[in-house]
Amino acid sequence: MPGRNVGRWSVARAGADDGEDDRIKTLTEHGRAVLDALSSSPTDPDTVAAHAGLPVAAVQRSLLELELRGFVERDPSGFYYRV
């Protein structure tokens, strides 16, 4: 019966993606810009600010919001990455 489980997982996963889009829509403009500037590779806030075209202080506020909401994680060295 693995085929049936895979099918169910695929349907549930598609719904999860829709929820993710809804969550992104609730972000501020800065939050979306910071999220777009991040990848799965750890990046320091100064580099994120340069890529997003925002002041470092605004990026740090957005990174905290994104971390609290589960969009990003911070590694022990203080670098952020998208999850």
pLDDT tens for each residue of 13-65: 444 456 678 999 999 999 999 999 999 999 999 999 999 999 999 999 999 99
Give me the phi and psi of 60, to 5 degrees please. Answer: -65, -40
Find the DSSP H helices in 1-83: 2-25, 29-37, 45-52, 56-68
Residues linked to residue 57 through DSSP beta bridges, in sequence order: none
Residue 7 above 50 pLDDT?
no
Residues linked to residue 74 through DSSP beta bridges, in sequence order: 80
Question: Per the confidence metrics, is the pTM higher than 0.85?
Answer: no
Residues linked to residue 82 through DSSP beta bridges, in sequence order: 72
Spell out the CATH class of 2-82.
mainly alpha
At residue 9 the predicted structure's pLDDT band, cuts being 50, 70 and 90, is very low
